[in-house]
Amino acid sequence: MDHTALSLIELGAVFFVLGALGRLAAKIGMSPIPLYLIGGLCFGQGGLIPLADIGPFTHLASEMGVVLLLLLLGLEYSAAELFTGLKRSWMAGVLDIVLNAAPGAAVALILGWGPVGALVMGGVTYISSSGIIAKVLGDLGRLGNRETPVVLSILVFEDLVMALYLPILTALLVGVSVVGGLKAVGISLAVITVVLVVALKFGRYVSALVDSPDREVFLLKVLGAALLVAGAASALQVSAAVGAFLLGIAISGSTAENATHMLEPLRDLFAAVFFVVFGLNTNPAEIPPVLGWAIALAVVTTLTKVATGWWAARRQGVGKMGRARAGAALVARGEFSIVIAGLAVSYGAVDSELAALATAYVLLMAILGPTAARLVEPAARALQRRGSTASEPSTAS
């Protein structure tokens, strides 16, 4: 069969299966990320139906998926909101790093993956999934709850940490010297500072530059600007994802809202391809040996995220029920954990088992997170009722 025809058939099959998996996820009320990863495992090397003719397209499409994920995340914030969130949540953010990065880093060191592997796994277990959490809070009608600003401020802090973490990780994965690493960090800090200042002072000009009343022109300008900035950031070893995130912050107002609505379908399409590509690069046979570690990490980091949310909500004067909801809301891991692991795998600087562990861990956490958020309130109310019943004096004669 002609190579082009075979590639189109394989690509069409992948997209169709992704659509079916997405519909299944919506019906059962869960994030589609675990199903996309499973789909990738089925189509990849060692899977049920290995695909070999769509590699060049899926590689580029997965890179665009990361760029669009971070661009739309940046569009959700203004520079002023980032600074406000940072001031409000920096103590909880520091606690978040300590409690949730440490388990992943410790497991990587135990498994002999070295300092770079520890840095990668620390990021995988640290970062919560903004996409999953936002969707769950919306579905459960909790966006107006008192604890929700606490959750969002922690997510903002995590996103800012990622803006520094990804360039440092990229420099280490490339294998630069200590001097080169410090240079990369310096460039990252300078770029982030400049972009935030520009966003604060001149954000309206950036928005006007990409804005257009014509939908087609607007889409081309926004997408073109995102890819240009991402490519330039990657050339500076600042990380393409961080470049897209910073561009999103610089775009504000109605321009940001219009860009979000227009780019969401593209983000969903290319992000789905990204998760599939990560699954394609993971050998399913490598998951069973690390499944025990994945389960252990899932248990530990569920407890540490709940502790983070509880403590942060308590500092803001939120009641016990709200503290429990805040902690459970932060449990989910997803797209950004896979972005970190995918970056490490693409440079070939970590053990191949790391991808298997990250896949198994995200599969567990992307399911456990929304489940915990839904069940925490009924469970807490049941415990309260049980406690109040036990404290009542007996009326029996």
Q: 141-162: per-residue pLDDT in tens?
A: 887 888 888 888 898 888 778 8
Q: What pLDDT score was predicted for residue 377?
A: 72
Give the confidence band of 303 by pLDDT, cuts at 50, 70, 90.
very high
Quick check: 357 pLDDT over 60?
Answer: yes
pTM given for the model: 0.77
In this predicted structure, what is the pLDDT of residue 395?
Answer: 45
Nearest to 229 by CA among 199, 264, 186: 199
pLDDT at 279: 78
| Percent of the chain topping pLDDT 90 | 23
DSSP for 10-34?
A: HHHHHHHHHHHHHHHHHHHTS-SHH
Q: What is the pLDDT of residue 69?
A: 82
CA torsion angle 364 365 370 371 (round to 10) = 50
What pLDDT sits at residue 63? 82
What average pLDDT score do residues 345-360 get? 83
CA–CA distance, 304 with 320 (Å, rounded to integer) = 17
What is the token pair recorded at 139? 């579905």
> What's the rounded Cα separation, in Å, for the pair 203 and 125?
33
Calpha distance 8→50 (Å, rounded): 15
Residue 237 has pLDDT above 50, yes or no: yes
- For residues 57 and 262, the model is more confident at 262
Average pLDDT, the chain: 82
> What value, to the nearest 5°, has the Cα angle with vertex 305 and ends 303 and 309?
115
| Interval 285-299 mean pLDDT | 93
**What's the pLDDT score for residue 390?**
56
Are 153 and 311 within 8 A, CB to CB?
Answer: no
- Looking at mean pLDDT, say which of 120-124, 232-236, 268-272, 346-350 comes out highest: 120-124
Q: What is the mean pLDDT of residues 359-369?
A: 89
Sign for the CA dihedral angle at 211, 215, 217, 220 comes to positive
By mean pLDDT, which of 73-77, 128-132, 313-317, 350-354 is the weakest?
73-77
Domain boundaries, the chain: 3-381
Least confident of 36-50, 107-121, 289-303: 36-50
Task: Say what the pLDDT of residue 47 is.
Answer: 58
d(CA 168, CA 254): 33
Q: Report the pLDDT averaged over residues 51-61.
A: 71
Q: What is the pLDDT of residue 134?
A: 78
Please, what is the end-to-end C-alpha distance for the chain in angstroms? 87
- Band (65; pLDDT cuts 50, 70, 90): confident
CATH numeric code, 3-381: 1.20.1530.20
Q: Give 68-80 as a DSSP string.
A: HHHHHHHHT--HH
User: Is 355's pLDDT higher than 80?
Assistant: yes
Do residues 165 and 341 lie in contact, with contact meaning Cβ atoms separated by under 8 Å? Answer: no
Q: Is the pLDDT of residue 192 over 80?
A: no
pLDDT (tens digit per residue) in 5-26: 887 887 888 888 888 988 888 8
Instruction: Give the helix, strand, coil percentages of the chain, each rounded to 5.
Output: 85, 0, 15
- Among residues 210, 238, 277, 217, the alpha carbon closest in space to that of 64 is found at 277
Of 202 and 391, the structure prediction assigns the larger pLDDT to 202
Helix, strand or coil for residue 53? Answer: coil
Q: Quote the CA–CA distance of 347 and 297 in Å, as a whole number.
A: 24
Mean pLDDT confidence for 279-298: 88
pLDDT the model gives residue 306: 95
Residue 388: pLDDT over 60: no
Residue type, 359: T
User: Tokens 């579905």 map to which residue?
Assistant: 139
Between CA 92 and CA 171 the distance in angstroms is 28
DSSP designation for 206? H
* Residue 308 or 29, more confident: 308
Q: Whole-angstrom Cα distance, residue 202 to residue 164?
A: 23
